[in-house]
Amino acid sequence: MRVVALGCDKSGYPALLRWGEEGSLPFDEVKIFSLPCLGLVTEEVIFRILENSDALLLAGCPLDSCHNQKGSQGVYLKVKRVNSLLQEADIPKKVAIAFVTSGKVGEIEKVSEELLGREK
């Protein structure tokens, strides 16, 4: 399973890297990117990314403690929408979002399990 992972450089990206460090990534391939805030991600970005990957894993600040107040909230809504669109169109690809505080990888593991679980 080919996965792209995006994290905000405040919380998500560091956590993603930790997660990578701890090795044993459950996917065949992971590409990790950082951006200032997940608020930047649009539905189109997600679709375009999914065009050459199987799943997208987003990692950002917890909803109530986003460095940009509403960034995580914004992307969270989009993720929900995109997933419902993918389902409606029955496209077997997934987006998931993990709310992490920098360095904490537990959430990411949970979410990646989700991705895999859904994949099966």
* Residues forming the site for another protein (CB under 8 A): 2, 4, 9-10, 13-14, 17, 20-21, 23, 28-37, 39-45, 47-53, 61, 64-71, 74-75, 78, 85-86, 88-89, 91, 93, 102-103
Compare residues 103 and 106 and give the one whose CB is closer to another protein: 103
Output DSSP code: residue 39: G
For the range 107-112, what are the long-range contacts, defined as Cβ-Cβ under 8 Å and sequence gap of 24 or more? 107/15, 107/59, 108/15, 108/16, 108/19, 108/57, 108/59, 109/19, 111/57, 111/59, 112/3, 112/26, 112/27, 112/57
Shortest gap between Cβ of 95 and another protein (angstroms)? 12
Tokens of 19: 């997660």
Shortest gap between Cβ of 65 and another protein (angstroms)? 5
Shortest gap between Cβ of 34 and another protein (angstroms)? 5
Instruction: Give the C-alpha separation, 83 to 25, whole Å.
Output: 23
Shortest gap between Cβ of 37 and another protein (angstroms)? 4
Compare residues 13 and 111 and give the one whose CB is closer to another protein: 13
Compare residues 66 and 111 and give the one whose CB is closer to another protein: 66
Look at residues 44, 38, 46 and name the one whose alpha carbon lies nearest to residue 3: 46
Compare residues 49 and 111 and give the one whose CB is closer to another protein: 49
